[in-house]
Amino acid sequence: MPREFTQKDIEIFNKLAPEAGGRLTSREAGHQFPFILRPVSHKFAESPEDFRKRLERLNPEELDYLVGLALEGKEDVQSLVEEDLEELVAVIDEKLSPEKAKQLKDFVGIF
C-alpha cells in the first residue's frame, strides 16, 4: 500500500516536478505515485543533469527530510537510475554534509 503523501511531500514533489501541475498520479497506471524521487527520475527528468538541477531547487531541510525518508525505507532511492542516484548523493554531499551522503551510500550499498 503506498504511503500517504503529507503536505510537505506534495510541496517537495511540486518543486521537483512543477510540470506535473500538482498531479500526484501516474497517467499510465492511474494511481498515486508511491514515492517522490522515483517518478521525478523516471518520468520528468530528461537527464542526470536535469535531475540534479531539480534536486538543487530543494533547501537543506527538504533534502534532509528526503534522506530521512530514504533511510527509513519510505522513499525509494534504490530504483533510481545509477547516474541519478550519483547526482542525489553529490547534492546531499554539497548541501547537507559528506556524512549524510555517506549514510545514504552505505544504506543503498553503492560506490
pTM (two decimals): 0.88
Q: Phi and psi (nearest 5°) for 32?
A: -65, 140
* pLDDT tens per residue across span 42-85: 999 999 999 999 999 999 999 999 999 999 999 999 989 999 99
Q: Phi and psi (nearest 5°) for 109?
A: 80, 40
* pLDDT tens per residue across span 73-84: 999 999 899 999
Within the chain, what is the greatest distance between any pair of CA atoms?
A: 38
Please check the confidence at residue 24 and state whether its pLDDT lies above 80: no
Quote the CA–CA distance of 9 and 103 in Å, as a whole number.
Answer: 21
Here the cell at position 88 is: 542525489
* DSSP reduced 3-state for 35: coil
